Structure formats: C-alpha cells, structure tokens
DNA sequence: CTGAAAGCGCTTACAG
DNA sequence: CTGAAAGCGCTTACAG
C-alpha cells in the first residue's frame, strides 16, 4: 500500500487554455480534439493528446453547459423514494439515463406541495434538460412551474389533468378489476377497499376500477366498504380497523398499494385477526419477498422496470427533439400473482 | 380550469442584463439585490424588484457556479438503491442536504467498479461540491478518483483502507456479537453464517464479529459454517442450501444483511425447511414489515436515519470549510429486535 | 485544417 | 451606494 491517499482540494485544475499553450496550438484545436467536433491533423492531435495527458486536463461540464445551453442533467421528482415502487422505478430511470449520457438529480418532496414547487424551481435554476416527475397534487401552481421549466416533462404513475406531456401510467382500472375478479372467483361478496388518496389520479382510478368490477360481478356498492388509507401505512392501518369494525365486516380486503398492504396487515394483527384465516387480502403492488414470508401476499404486480424504461426513453426522445407534438401516454398492465393471502370463503 | 397548459421550451429566459436595462440600473445592482451581497438604496431596490417580477427573471445557477466555483450540488454514489438500507439512507441524505441548500446527483453502479469510476468522473466534470459514497471495491483507482475529485468525500457503510476522509459506519462487530449472543442464549451451538463479500469492509468486519462472538461463547470455529452469500439474495439462497446440506447442519443461521435474509428464507423454503421450526434465523438489517409477516424476522436494525444525517452533516461542515484536518469516523450501534424467527433449541 | 475573438450569464475587485 | 469591466472555461461562427 503506497501510503495514505489524502482527500484535498486540487489547486485549480488545468483549463483548455493551458492545454493549448502546452501543445502550442489554439484553444479551438483543443476543443476540436476533445469533442471530435472538427477534423484535426494527426500532428496537432498528437500534441494535444499528449498535453491533455500530461496536464490531467478534464473539461468543465459547467462551462460547456453555459455555452451550449444543455446540461445533460435530468431532474427526477417523486414523493417518497422509500416506497418500493418508486425505488425500483428510480433505479431503472437512473440506469437508462446514465447509459444515454445524462446525470440525474433526485428530489423527494415527501408529498409536500410547497417543497415540490421549491425543488422544481431548484432544478429549473440548474437548467435540467428534462424532468421526470410523479406529481404530488394537481395544483395550478405545479402545472405552471412545469410549463415554466422550459424543458420536456414526463409524468410517471400519475397523470396531471390539464397539463399536456408524455406520461406512463398503470392501467389502474384493469389492475383493480383483476384483484376484484380474483376475490369474487373465490366466493367473496363483501370486499373492502383500503383506498388511496382521493385527490390523486391513481387513487381515483383504482377506486373507479373497484366500483366497476363490483358492478360487473353484480355486487352492491356499499360506501362503508371503502375506507381511505391514503397510500400510507399508518392511515391504511386505521382504514383496515374501520373496515373490520363494520357490523357486517368484509371477508376480503384490497389494499390500494404496497404501503397500504403493510398497514392493513398491521391493522389486522392488531385486532387479533389472521390473514387469510379471518380475511383475505389482495394488494396492488408486489414485493420481492412476497413469495417467502407468510401470508404470501396475493398482489397485482406493476411492471416497475417498464415504468422506468419507458419514462427514460420518452424523455430522451423529447430532449433530443426527435418527437415533436402532443404528449403521449403509455398505459402498462399489471399482473396478478395469486398467493396464500387470499383463499376461498368457507360458505360459498 | 383555464385550458391546457402546454409544456414548451421557453424562448430564452430573461437575463440579468435585461433586468438591469428594464430597471435602468447597472447589472451590479441587480446582482446585489438578488444575492443581498451589497447594500442597495430603497429606490433602486424597488425598481429592480419590479423588473424582476415583470420579466420573470430567475438567476442561472450555471453561470453563477462557473464564476464562483461552487455548484451547491452533491454527488451520491451507491451500489444499489434497491437495497432498503441504502434507500433509507438516500432518503435522509437527500432531505438534509436539500435543507442545507444542496441538490443531490444520484449514481448507482450496481457494484460495477468500472461504472463507479465512470460515474465519479461524471460528477467531477460537473464539479460537485462534495461526494457521499458507499464504495464498491477498494481499488487504488477508486481512491485516486476520489482524491482527484478536489472536493470533500464522506464514506458511508464502508471504510476505504488507505484513504483518509470522513466516514460513518456500523459497529459491525458489536452487531454481529449481539446476533450470536442472542442465539447462544437460546441454546444454539451450531450457528451458520450466510456471509457477505469477503473483499468488503462490512463483509470482513461482520465475519470477524461472528468469529469473536463464537469464541467468547466458547464455541468451536467450523469453517463449513461460514458460506459466502455476497450480500445478495440469489447467492445467499445458495449459501443457505450449502449450510443446510452439511452432515451436521446448523440449528440457527445469521444472514449478513437484509438481502441475504430474504435469500436465506427462499433457500430454506426451497428445501422444505421452516423457520423457526427447523432453523432459527437472525439478520443484520431490519425491514419495516418485519413485525407483520411470518416468521417475524429477528434482526439487528441499523440506525439508517443516523447514517444519512451524520453523513450529510459531516459533508456540509467540510464543504463550508468549517472542519479542517484528518477524517473523522463515526461508529453507530445497531439494535437487536428479537422476534419469532429465532427460538430456543428443543434440547438444551 | 487552423486561429483570433465573441459570448454564454453571472460575480466581484476596483473606482468613484 | 453605484457603475464599468474583467473573467469563470468553454463553443462556435467567421476568416483564412
């Protein structure tokens, strides 16, 4: 081991001018070989390359961006990275965008609209070339902030009514339809919903999907069977408690997302109820460990990789100006994984 | 709803010069009121503020950074955001750094050393003011890249032998010690380890902690009882299979991290073994759902929030130049949560 | 194929 | 308290 490497501020890194002087060429020539933007004779090229190696020159992305107006940086704004759905999406977006030559700036607003506006302003100031956002709320201020960005925007998971741009969303109604159909096929007739945020696209769509599916199955709509869990564990816990406290409690529950499923399970165990013994449970969103721990959660898995890949692809297309015109919406299908948390009712 | 807001490239945003012209002052005055960097008379200030409002002027962080040499951007380089430990740490780092006025650039290298170097080079080109990194490998090239950064570095989770900088790590030996002590107290004498990466700081420390604890308990060191799971689910699955295939299989297993625990559980269920019926299991790293699904995983929880908070705090101190001198290492303690995945041996 | 020069949008000594 | 001007490190017409 060659002694300790010490972290220290480098004493002003070499600039293009210095490389030019070293190589005894003009700064233009240096730029031309660095960027391959203009043909350079072999002699000069060799001199420049030697000078670069010798000086340890690295171009300043900052200066380049100021000149070109492009930062090759993309903003990624979500509510909560801790939600496994977003974690997976972020992972894929980061990977694909890096491969396409873009860095990603991550912002989590924890569902705080003000923080969200602030973060978008921050990304605007830093002149991101594009933005992928899973919007919190549907405020006019948000839409204005996005429009003012002056860069293409791709929405993930949620659509923003009244704002035209690319988006990639789940077929929420179909996903909910599968969940309900799975349970009715098992004989369930009272199916409770631990619902999402009513003010969000996903919350509304999943609720609508639930209602549609009940209707298709010829089941009545009982408002008591829908309790808002706000896509959060603690709220879902309370919602599950309310559902199971009904005079005629449901025999099955649907959790509107991953965190709701955990909260619902907590609520049940707090009440001393077992799943699927006392109630069946189906969730929208899958977990990597759902196959392993008990009850093995029946879930409608979202194609998280596709979410990230499609969002990154569409954004890159827009940033490169390859796709003019109005926003495109990609609708992805979920996949039901039937496991042990849902079972047939005893009396059919 | 006032019609659709259309996402479009703004036709060149207003500049400081334009604001100055509008307000009929010098560009210096505009800068002074924008940054509060120099006192300005009330009359001029009012004119400037009006001009800013009227033109919708927003300063360019890019131009400012080029001048000042500070980007107020921090790099965050980790192996895999999908690992819940890093997810939580990233969440906290992002929050604290944003509060301190820094944006964060996220890079995941998926344990690819080459990709890691590339991403560090990318962040260097973008002139990040600092870097938080959970290093993949301990290569000399990596240490050189970090030193060349010319900005303070804070290590998370892993220390880099031969590179002096701030770091925040778990007391891995103590954590392992607690896991082993918990199991020996339950009467276990053959305790298998689904070990981490031998070439990493955490892998080595946790293994050493396991060995020390066995010694303290007066138990023999059986090399067969240590199988490498590489901190990954698939490898851990195979390691668990090897452990349970021993002539004299262990009565308890320790998984070296969260993903190893999931892999170990998969391995067990593949072999038709139950936990804790056939084997007990203790993991380093906790899960938010560990209290809810069966078996409820006994785990040594890492203080993930503290990891993020301390790393962010130390980096900010360094970036502000408040703390000169050699690297500081903060060692955090884990907390054992005894749950149902570990139980007493039948014959004591 | 190569160079001298303007300019991207700011900040900041230096004068007044 | 205010202004004119240099310069951060690049790219890119414009000439030759």
pLDDT of residue B319: 95
Smallest CA–CA distance from A321 into chain B, residue: B9
Which residue in the set A81, A148, A293 is minimally distant from B10, CB to CB?
Answer: A148
Contact B121, B272 (CB under 8 A): no
Smallest CA–CA distance from B161 into chain A, residue: A4
Q: Do A294 and B294 touch (CB under 8 A)?
A: yes
Q: Tens-of-pLDDT digits for all 348 residues of chain B?
A: 333 444 434 456 789 999 998 999 999 999 999 998 888 888 999 999 999 999 989 999 999 999 999 999 999 999 999 999 999 999 999 999 999 999 999 999 999 999 999 999 999 999 999 999 999 999 999 999 999 999 999 999 999 999 999 999 999 999 999 999 999 999 999 999 999 999 999 999 999 999 999 999 999 999 999 999 999 999 999 999 999 999 999 999 999 999 999 999 999 999 999 999 999 999 999 999 999 999 999 999 999 999 999 999 999 999 998 888 999 999 999 999 999 999 999 754
Contact B314, B168 (CB under 8 A): yes
Q: Do B91 and A81 touch (CB under 8 A)?
A: yes
DSSP string of B111-178, one letter each residue: T-HHHHHHHHHHHHHTT-SEEEE--SS--HHHHHHHHHT-S-EEEES---TTEESEEEEE-HHHHHHH
The CB density around residue B315, as the number of other CB atoms within 10 Å, is: 27
A172 upstream amide cis, omega within 30 of 0: no
Question: CA(A314)–C1'(D8) in Å?
Answer: 35
State how far residue A24 is from chain B, nearest Cα, in angstroms.
24
Smallest CA–CA distance from A91 into chain B, residue: B81
Cα separation, A29 vs A23, in Å, equals 10
Cα separation, A104 vs A132, in Å, equals 10
Residue B25 Cβ < 7 Å to strand D = yes
Partners of B5 on chain A (C-beta within 8 Å) are: 143-144, 146-147, 162-164
CA neighbours within 13 Å on the CB side: how many for A111? 9
- Please state the length of chain B: 348
Contact B157, B83 (CB under 8 A): no
pLDDT < 50 positions in chain A: 1-10, 348
Q: Do A107 and B121 touch (CB under 8 A)?
A: no
pLDDT of residue A292: 95
Which residue in the set B59, B88, B161 is minimally distant from A125, CB to CB?
Answer: B59
pLDDT of residue B346: 76
Contact B331, B182 (CB under 8 A): no
pLDDT of residue A12: 62
In this structure, is the dihedral angle defined by the CA atoms of residues A231, A237, A242 and A245, taken in order, positive or negative? positive
Cα separation, B89 vs B305, in Å, equals 6
Task: Using alpha carbons, list the distances in angstroms from residue A235 to A175, A243, A248, A263, A266.
Answer: 22, 12, 21, 7, 11
Question: CA(B55)–C1'(C12) in Å?
Answer: 25
Q: Do B61 and A125 touch (CB under 8 A)?
A: yes
pTM for this prediction: 0.93
Question: CA(B49)–C1'(C4) in Å?
Answer: 40
Partners of B295 on chain A (C-beta within 8 Å) are: 293-294
Residues facing A252 on adjacent strands? A191, A280
pLDDT of residue A337: 98
Nearest residue (CA) to C1' of D2: B29
Cα separation, A52 vs A29, in Å, equals 12
Which residue in the set A62, A161, A288 is minimally distant from B127, CB to CB?
Answer: A62
Residue B306 burial (C-beta neighbours within 10 Å; 0-12, 13-18, 19+) = middle
Contact B173, B300 (CB under 8 A): no
Contact B278, A278 (CB under 8 A): no
Owner of token pair 């490239």 = B9
Q: Is B248 helix (H, G, I), strand (E, B) or coil?
A: coil
Here the tokens at position A293 are 């721990």
Smallest CA–CA distance from A289 into chain B, residue: B262
Cα separation, B316 vs B319, in Å, equals 5
Q: Do B146 and A95 touch (CB under 8 A)?
A: no
Which residue in the set A3, A143, A269 is minimally distant from B5, CB to CB?
Answer: A143
What single DSSP character describes residue A77?
E
Q: Is B99 helix (H, G, I), strand (E, B) or coil?
A: helix
pLDDT of residue B322: 87
pLDDT single digits (tens) B78-120: 999 999 999 999 999 999 999 999 999 999 999 999 999 999 9
The contacts of residue B62 (CB under 8 Å, 6+ apart) are: A62, A65, A66, A71, A126, A127
B241 upstream amide cis, omega within 30 of 0: no
**Which nucleotide in the DNA or RNA is closest to residue B40, CA to C1'?**
D1
pLDDT of residue B214: 98
Cα separation, B327 vs B333, in Å, equals 20
Q: Do A127 and B60 touch (CB under 8 A)?
A: yes
Cα separation, B47 vs B22, in Å, equals 9
Residue A70 Cβ < 7 Å to strand D = no
Q: What share of chain B is helix, strand, coil (3-state, %, to 5)?
A: 45, 15, 40
- What does residue A317 show for φ and ψ, rounded to 5 degrees? -55, -45
Which nucleotides of chain C are near protein (any atom < 7 Å from a CB)?
Answer: 1-5, 7-13
pLDDT of residue A58: 92
pLDDT of residue B198: 94
Which residue in the set A7, A60, A63 is minimally distant from B153, CB to CB?
Answer: A7
Contact B343, B280 (CB under 8 A): yes
pLDDT of residue B271: 97
Cα separation, A244 vs A255, in Å, equals 14
Q: Do B10 and A150 touch (CB under 8 A)?
A: yes
The contacts of residue A58 (CB under 8 Å, 6+ apart) are: A13, B121, B124, B125
Contact B255, B225 (CB under 8 A): no
Residue A17 Cβ < 7 Å to strand D = yes
Residue A150 Cα to chain centre, angstroms: 21
pLDDT of residue B347: 58
pLDDT of residue B37: 87
Q: Do B90 and A98 touch (CB under 8 A)?
A: no
State how far residue B215 is from chain A, nearest Cα, in angstroms.
31
Q: Do A80 and B91 touch (CB under 8 A)?
A: yes
State how far residue A147 is from chain B, nearest Cα, in angstroms.
5
Q: Give the number of beta-carbon pairs within 8 Å between A and B.
A: 196
Q: Do B106 and A107 touch (CB under 8 A)?
A: no
Question: CA(B47)–C1'(D2) in Å?
Answer: 14
Residue A125 burial (C-beta neighbours within 10 Å; 0-12, 13-18, 19+) = middle
Helices B140-148 and B113-125 pack at an angle, to 10 degrees, of: 10
Cα separation, B245 vs B223, in Å, equals 14
Smallest CA–CA distance from B11 into chain A, residue: A150
The contacts of residue A181 (CB under 8 Å, 6+ apart) are: A213, A217
Residue A86 Cβ < 7 Å to strand D = no
The CB density around residue B68, as the number of other CB atoms within 10 Å, is: 9
* Chain B 61-80 contacts with nucleic strand D (CB below 7 A): 63, 66-67, 69
The contacts of residue B126 (CB under 8 Å, 6+ apart) are: A61, A62, A73, A103, B71, B73, B105
Cα separation, B19 vs B12, in Å, equals 14
């Amino acid at each position: 081991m060659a002694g300790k490497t010490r972290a220290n501020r480098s004493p002003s890194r070499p600039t293009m001018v210095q490389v030019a002087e070293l190589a005894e060429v003009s700064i233009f020539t240096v730029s031309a070989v660095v960027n391959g933007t203009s043909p350079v004779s072999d002699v000069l090229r060799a001199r420049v390359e030697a000078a670069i190696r010798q000086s340890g020159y690295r171009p300043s992305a900052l200066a380049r961006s100021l000149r070109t107006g492009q930062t090759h940086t993309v903003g990624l704004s979500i509510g909560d990275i801790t939600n496994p759905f977003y974690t997976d999406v972020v992972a894929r977006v980061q990977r694909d965008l890096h491969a396409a030559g873009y860095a990603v700036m991550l912002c989590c607003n924890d569902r705080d609209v003000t923080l969200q506006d602030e973060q978008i302003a921050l990304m605007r100031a830093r002149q991101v070339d594009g933005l992928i956002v899973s919007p919190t709320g549907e405020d006019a201020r948000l839409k204005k902030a996005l429009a003012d960005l002056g860069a293409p925007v791709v929405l993930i998971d949620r659509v923003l009514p009244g704002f035209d741009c690319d988006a990639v969303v789940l077929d929420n109604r179909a996903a909910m339809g599968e969940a309900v159909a799975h349970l009715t096929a098992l004989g369930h007739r009272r199916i409770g919903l631990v619902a999402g945020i009513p003010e969000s696209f996903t919350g509304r769509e999943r609720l609508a999907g639930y209602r549609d599916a009940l209707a298709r199955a010829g089941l009545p709509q009982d408002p008591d069977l829908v309790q808002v869990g706000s896509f959060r564990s603690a709220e879902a816990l309370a919602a599950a408690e309310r559902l199971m406290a009904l005079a005629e409690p449901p025999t099955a529950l649907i959790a509107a997302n991953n965190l709701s499923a955990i909260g619902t399970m907590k609520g049940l165990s707090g009440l001393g109820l077992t799943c699927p013994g006392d109630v069946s449970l189906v969730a929208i969103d899958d977990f990597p460990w759902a196959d392993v721990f008990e009850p093995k959660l029946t879930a409608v898995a979202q194609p998280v990789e596709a979410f990230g890949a499609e969002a990154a692809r569409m954004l890159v297309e827009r940033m490169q100006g390859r796709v003019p015109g109005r926003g495109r919406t990609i609708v992805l299908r979920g996949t039901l994984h039937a496991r042990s948390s849902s079972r047939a009712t005893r009396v059919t």
